[in-house]
């Protein structure tokens, strides 16, 4: 049986444009609406996590000033903040939000290949968020086991939320994974099967490559979290002993016997480390496109960038145990995981060099998206370099329980991707809404956020080197090796954190105000080459492309091509005598 490619069957395709409010905006199967639904939900729950982080910082910076934050609250805030930011904000926003919006538009498709499943994916994700939030309203509150949910602590008496909170968390994670799988199958299949004519794999923008590889990682890694969630749920609910060892609690032997907490750690980090790249790879791809577009240069080393994405994706599955050095392991295993961890720095460094070389001799426009993209490079290099320290067993062991890890992690996995998220929202805002945002407010938002986050996280490295332990509610009870000045640094960090949190209101105001009052946007305000900017309507209508699908004639990075009438040639412009095909580095053969 020979099937006809989707792009070649387009004439048979009848667009059933939704007309009622419900089918257009609620039970919508349009990838753009689903992307916005994902984005709004992820940002909303992300704001909850932001407030939790401010509460934690208030406690650390001014320990005796806020009596409303009890120790068990603090641990619940840590746990919920971490899990929400990593899974429910970043993963959902990059893949459910940007993935949904960009894949069909950048590949020249009318929609995802399974629109109904795409719609289900969002609603199941929303259910996962609601189950997670329900944890705040149940007896005992949400789990306070830390975002890694390590047993036996997570389900042992004495841990906040050890009865119902942990069950809410595990159920929510399992539901999230079901939602992600439905979305992920769509992203992979759409990229493989629904590209328009001429859009070869090696002509795809790097944003699509990053999202594609991150989705593959997610599809293969999330099952590890699913397995651990099921098994820990059974340990908690029916008294099995998958992870729970024999213990005494309050002088009485617990019901469990012989379980392996290390098994949970292996499963968790087999998911947990690829998760870093599930967030990072879309950010890498998107930032490549932002840098190229706003520097008016073709991306340096496109093919190497694609290979680096693939290499990072594969290597991310063989480094997980570097999160477990302090759990104890055979020294040969420690050596193996330290080596693989350092090897993964090679393709990552290639990407950083290529970003910098893309800027070299570029016609750099310091637009708001570009500022965020450049801010990302700085921050990622900072966070990446401290990762080299922590990847080595002997350095990691003394630093592992300190604020050095908090600083590293937030630089590389918190601030870096969030800068890309902001850059990407500003970059595609005109296409998504049809309006321009306020440039001045955008720049204010960037500078205050960028400098503010450095004021938060740079000092944390020094706290870590001093040995200040993380996960502590307070340091007031005579930890002799911690100098008194640490408290002053903590107060300064807290002030910066509150400041950065408040600055995000500028972003929210800009996004909402511009939606109604912003000037009408040009269909291609950045003079970009990729297909999403070439749609007949802005914002694109249902079906994206009007009566006929686009045809692609060139790669996504024909900027500043010598001899061309403009400094960009869109992917769907055929070559002719006046418009040549581009050459890498702007050279023409």
Which structure tokens are listed for 367?
Answer: 């637009």
Query: What's the first-to-final CA gap in the chain, in angstroms?
Result: 44
Instruction: Kindly tell me which residue out of 41, 118, 172, 181 binds other proteins, with binding defined by CB under 8 A.
Output: 181
> For other proteins, which is the closer residue by CB, 299 or 463?
299
DSSP 54-107: HHHHHHHHSTTT-TT--HHHHHHHHHHHHHIIIIIIIIIIIIIIIIHHHHHHHH
Site for other proteins contains 432 (CB under 8 A): no
Instruction: Kindly tell me which residue out of 41, 59, 298, 379 binds other proteins, with binding defined by CB under 8 A.
Output: 298
Query: Which helix (H) or strand (E) is 230 found in, with range?
Result: helix 206-237
Q: Taking a C-beta distance cutoff of 8 angstroms, is the pair 169, 107 a contact? A: no
Nearest approach, Cβ of residue 361 and other proteins (Å): 17
Nearest approach, Cβ of residue 310 and other proteins (Å): 7
Give the 3-state secondary structure percentages of the chain, helix then strand then coil, rounded to 5: 65, 0, 30
Instruction: Kindly tell me which residue out of 11, 238, 481, 547 binds other proteins, with binding defined by CB under 8 A.
Output: 238
- Stretch of 279-287, 328-336, 486-494, 550-558 contacting other proteins, by CB under 8 A: 550-558
The residue whose two tokens read 């903040």 is 81
Beta strands in 242-323 (DSSP E): 248-249, 252-253
Q: Taking a C-beta distance cutoff of 8 angstroms, is the pair 482, 475 a contact? A: yes
DSSP state of 248: E
Contacts of 113 (CB under 8 A, 6+ apart): 6, 186, 189, 190, 193, 194
> For other proteins, which is the closer residue by CB, 94 or 242?
242
Per CB under 8 A, contacts with other proteins among 125-164 are: none
Q: Taking a C-beta distance cutoff of 8 angstroms, is the pair 341, 322 a contact? A: yes
Kindly provide the b/e burial profile for residues 411-430, where b requires at least 16 CB atoms within 10 angstroms of the residue's own CB. Answer: bbbbbbbbbbbbbbbbbbbb
Size of the site for other proteins (CB under 8 A): 78
Instruction: Kindly tell me which residue out of 268, 302, 409, 437 binds other proteins, with binding defined by CB under 8 A.
Output: 302
Q: Taking a C-beta distance cutoff of 8 angstroms, is the pair 107, 194 a contact? A: yes
Site for other proteins contains 314 (CB under 8 A): yes
Q: Taking a C-beta distance cutoff of 8 angstroms, is the pair 84, 414 a contact? A: no
Q: Taking a C-beta distance cutoff of 8 angstroms, is the pair 325, 386 a contact? A: no
> For other proteins, which is the closer residue by CB, 26 or 202?
202
Instruction: Kindly tell me which residue out of 71, 239, 519, 536 binds other proteins, with binding defined by CB under 8 A.
Output: 239
- Stretch of 145-153, 242-250, 428-436, 522-530 contacting other proteins, by CB under 8 A: 242-250
Distance CA 149, CA 232 (A): 10
Instruction: Kindly tell me which residue out of 47, 262, 458, 573 binds other proteins, with binding defined by CB under 8 A.
Output: 262
Instruction: Kindly tell me which residue out of 325, 429, 555, 568 binds other proteins, with binding defined by CB under 8 A.
Output: 555
Nearest approach, Cβ of residue 377 and other proteins (Å): 23
Site for other proteins contains 270 (CB under 8 A): yes
Distance CA 235, CA 240 (A): 5
Per CB under 8 A, contacts with other proteins among 381-410 are: none
Give the distance between the most distant pair of CA atoms in the chain. Answer: 86
Residues 8-47: x where in contact with other proteins by CB under 8 A, - otherwise, as a string: x---------------------------------------
Site for other proteins contains 458 (CB under 8 A): no
Tell me how long the chain is.
Answer: 589
Site for other proteins contains 242 (CB under 8 A): yes
> For other proteins, which is the closer residue by CB, 178 or 455?
178
Site for other proteins contains 575 (CB under 8 A): yes
- Stretch of 80-88, 429-437, 522-530, 548-556 contacting other proteins, by CB under 8 A: 548-556
Site for other proteins contains 327 (CB under 8 A): no
List beta partners, residue 568. 559
Site for other proteins contains 255 (CB under 8 A): yes
Nearest approach, Cβ of residue 369 and other proteins (Å): 23
> For other proteins, which is the closer residue by CB, 66 or 307?
307
Nearest approach, Cβ of residue 191 and other proteins (Å): 10
Nearest approach, Cβ of residue 209 and other proteins (Å): 10
Instruction: Kindly tell me which residue out of 113, 171, 338, 503 binds other proteins, with binding defined by CB under 8 A.
Output: 113
Instruction: Kindly tell me which residue out of 131, 267, 368, 371 binds other proteins, with binding defined by CB under 8 A.
Output: 267
Phi, psi of 567 (to 5 degrees): -90, 15
DSSP state of 549: -
> For other proteins, which is the closer residue by CB, 211 or 374?
211
Instruction: Kindly tell me which residue out of 306, 315, 321, 511 binds other proteins, with binding defined by CB under 8 A.
Output: 306
Q: Taking a C-beta distance cutoff of 8 angstroms, is the pair 393, 327 a contact? A: no
Site for other proteins contains 469 (CB under 8 A): no
Site for other proteins contains 528 (CB under 8 A): no
Instruction: Kindly tell me which residue out of 1, 65, 157, 250 binds other proteins, with binding defined by CB under 8 A.
Output: 1
The residue whose two tokens read 């968020």 is 129
> For other proteins, which is the closer residue by CB, 195 or 323?
195
Distance CA 48, CA 386 (A): 28
Distance CA 425, CA 368 (A): 10
> For other proteins, which is the closer residue by CB, 220 or 501?
220
Residues 183-222: x where in contact with other proteins by CB under 8 A, - otherwise, as a string: -xxx-xxx-xxxx-xxxxxxx---------------xxx-
Nearest approach, Cβ of residue 314 and other proteins (Å): 8
Site for other proteins contains 65 (CB under 8 A): no
Distance CA 207, CA 101 (A): 11
Kindly provide the b/e burial profile for residues 548-566, where b requires at least 16 CB atoms within 10 angstroms of the residue's own CB. Answer: ebbebbbbbbbbbbeebee
């Amino acid at each position: 049986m020979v099937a006809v490619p989707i792009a070649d069957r387009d004439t048979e395709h009848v667009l059933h444009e939704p007309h009622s409010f419900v089918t257009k905006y609620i039970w919508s199967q349009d990838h753009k609406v689903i992307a916005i639904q994902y984005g709004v939900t992820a940002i909303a729950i992300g704001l909850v996590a932001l407030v939790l982080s401010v509460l934690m910082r208030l406690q650390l910076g001014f320990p005796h000033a806020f009596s409303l934050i009890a120790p068990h609250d603090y641990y619940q805030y840590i746990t919920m903040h971490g899990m929400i930011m990593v899974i429910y904000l970043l993963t959902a926003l990059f893949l459910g939000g940007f993935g949904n919006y960009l894949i069909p538009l950048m590949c020249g498709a009318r929609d995802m290949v399974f629109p109904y499943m795409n719609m289900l994916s969002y609603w199941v994700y929303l259910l996962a968020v609601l189950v997670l939030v329900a944890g705040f309203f149940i007896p005992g509150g949400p789990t306070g086991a830390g975002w890694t949910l390590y047993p036996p602590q997570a389900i042992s008496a004495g841990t906040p939320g050890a009865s119902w909170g942990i069950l809410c968390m595990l159920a929510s994670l399992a539901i999230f994974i079901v939602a992600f799988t439905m979305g992920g199958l769509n992203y992979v299949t759409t990229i493989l099967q629904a590209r328009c004519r001429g859009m070869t794999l090696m002509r795809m923008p790097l944003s699509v490559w990053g999202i594609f590889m991150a989705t593959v990682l997610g599809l293969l890694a999330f099952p590890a979290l699913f397995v651990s969630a099921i098994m820990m749920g059974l340990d908690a609910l029916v008294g099995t002993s998958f992870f729970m060892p024999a213990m005494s609690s309050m002088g009485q032997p617990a019901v469990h016997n012989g379980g392996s907490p290390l098994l949970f750690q292996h499963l968790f980090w087999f998911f947990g480390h690829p998760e870093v790249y599930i967030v990072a790879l879309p950010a890498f791809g998107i930032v490549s496109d932002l840098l190229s577009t706003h520097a008016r240069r073709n991306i340096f080393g496109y093919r190497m960038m694609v290979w680096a994405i693939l290499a990072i994706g594969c290597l991310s599955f063989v480094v997980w145990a570097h999160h477990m050095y302090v759990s104890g392991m055979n020294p040969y295993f420690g050596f193996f995981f330290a080596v693989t961890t350092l090897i993964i720095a090679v393709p990552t460094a290639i990407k950083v060099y290529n970003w910098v070389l893309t800027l070299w001799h570029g016609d750099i426009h310091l637009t708001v998206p570009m500022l965020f993209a450049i801010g990302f490079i700085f921050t990622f290099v900072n966070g990446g370099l401290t990762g080299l320290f922590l990847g080595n067993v002997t350095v990691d062991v003394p630093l592992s329980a300190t604020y050095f890890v908090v600083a590293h992690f937030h630089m590389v996995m918190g601030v870096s991707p969030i800068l890309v998220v902001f850059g990407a929202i500003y970059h595609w805002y005109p296409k998504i809404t049809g309006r321009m945002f306020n440039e001045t407010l955008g720049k204010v938002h960037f500078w205050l956020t960028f400098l503010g986050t450095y004021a938060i996280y740079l000092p944390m490295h020094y706290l870590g080197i001093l040995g200040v332990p993380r996960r502590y509610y307070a340091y007031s009870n005579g930890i002799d090796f911690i100098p008194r000045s640490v408290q002053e640094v903590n107060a300064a960090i807290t002030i910066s954190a509150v400041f950065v949190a408040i600055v995000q209101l500028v972003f929210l105001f800009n996004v909402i105000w511009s939606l109604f009052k912003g000037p009408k946007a040009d269909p291609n305000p950045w003079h970009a080459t990729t297909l999403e900017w070439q749609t007949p309507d802005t914002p694109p209508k249902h079906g994206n492309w009007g009566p006929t699908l686009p045809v692609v004639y060139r790669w996504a990075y024909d900027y500043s091509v010598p001899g061309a009438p403009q400094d960009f040639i869109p992917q769907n412009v055929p070559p002719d005598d006046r418009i040549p095909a581009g050459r890498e580095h702007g050279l023409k053969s």
